[in-house]
Every structure is written in C-alpha cells, then in structure tokens.
C-alpha cells in the first residue's frame, strides 16, 4: 500500500496554483506549512487503509527540484467529463499538456486519460475508468 507520494517544487506558490486547480475537486484537502503543501483525502471509517497523501515540497538537499524520468503520479477522476475539465483547469493554472484527454489504444476500452506536466515538470495523469460511461469502442 502506498502511504504517500512527494514531488519536488522550486516555486511552491506556482505549484499551489496548479494543484489547487486539480486536487480539491478530487476531494483532497490542503494543509500548507513551511515544509510545503500537503494534500490529503479523507480517511474512510473502519479498518481500511488510509488513501495515500500527496506532498509538494522543496527538496531536502537544497538543490533544484527535477522531474523523475519515467515517474508519473495518476489521480482518478469521477468521470470522463471531470478528466477533461480538470485537465483544462490545470493547464490554465500553469501546467502543460502532455497528452489530451481521450482513450488510448494500449489500455482497456474504459480507460479514459489525460496527461499533464506540473510547473516543475512532474508528469501527472488524470483518468476515469467508469464502466457506466461510453467506452473506446462505443
């Protein structure tokens, strides 16, 4: 079980604009402190594991943050429409398009995904795989 994911950012204010357009609509709450941004989903009641937290922080060694080659963080949206809306909002908030929302032949017929880069260059995926929505072959 993944407990948390951290990405580095040299400009926390710029990162905050980007992630504010993306994560609160997915249910994440923000806590901000001198150590950076902490986005947390509400923990479900009962013995279930808590969903992973997502942190945006300056680097610990003080060197410039860099995006990992081959690293990507994926966030699940509630619908294909939400993927499109959040992708557009994140680009408008300083991100860059890394792959417009849509179906990809390499994935299952219900996997609808859009790709972004945050202002630091970290790769982010937004996806929906709701079987109640039209699929790629519909």
Would you place residue 138 in the very low, low, confident or very high pLDDT band (cuts 50, 70, 90)? low
Q: Pseudo-torsion of CA 126, 130, 131, 137, nearest 10°? A: -30
Provide the sign of the torsion angle of the four alpha carbons 73, 78, 80, 81, taken in this order: negative
Burial class (CB in 10 A: 0-12, 13-18, 19+), 65: middle
Of residues 47 and 39, the one with the higher pLDDT is 39
Would you place residue 51 in the very low, low, confident or very high pLDDT band (cuts 50, 70, 90)? confident
Weakest-pLDDT range from 24-33, 38-47, 95-104, 113-122: 38-47
Burial 9-26 (b: 16+ CB within 10 A, else e): beeeeebbebbbbbbeeb
Q: How confident is the model over 12-28, as pLDDT tens digits?
A: 999 999 999 999 999 99
Asked whether 87 and 136 are in contact (CB, 8 A), the reply is: no
The first and second tokens of residue 47, run together, are: 């013995």
33 forms beta bridges with 36
The first and second tokens of residue 90, run together, are: 């994140």
The first and second tokens of residue 83, run together, are: 């993927």
Provide the sign of the torsion angle of the four alpha carbons 20, 22, 23, 24, taken in this order: positive
Would you place residue 45 in the very low, low, confident or very high pLDDT band (cuts 50, 70, 90)? confident
The contacts of residue 107 (CB under 8 Å, 6+ apart) are: 113
Residue-range domains of the chain with CATH:
4-128 (3.10.180.10)
Output the pTM of the full model. Answer: 0.90
Mean pLDDT of 80-105: 97
pLDDT exceeds 80 at position 67 = yes
């Amino acid at each position: 079980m993944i407990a948390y994911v951290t990405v580095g950012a040299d400009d926390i204010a710029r990162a905050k604009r980007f992630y504010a357009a993306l994560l609160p609509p997915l249910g994440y709450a923000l806590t901000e402190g001198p150590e950076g941004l902490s986005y947390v989903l509400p923990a479900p009641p009962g013995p279930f594991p808590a969903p992973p937290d997502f942190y945006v922080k300056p680097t610990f060694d003080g060197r410039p943050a860099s995006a990992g080659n081959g690293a990507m963080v994926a966030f699940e949206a509630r619908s294909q429409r939400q993927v499109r809306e959040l992708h557009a909002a994140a680009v408008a908030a300083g991100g860059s398009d890394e792959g417009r929302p849509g179906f990809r032949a390499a994935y299952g017929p219900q996997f609808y995904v859009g790709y972004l880069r945050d202002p630091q260059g970290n790769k982010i995926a937004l996806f929906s795989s709701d079987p109640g929505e039209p699929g790629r072959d519909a």
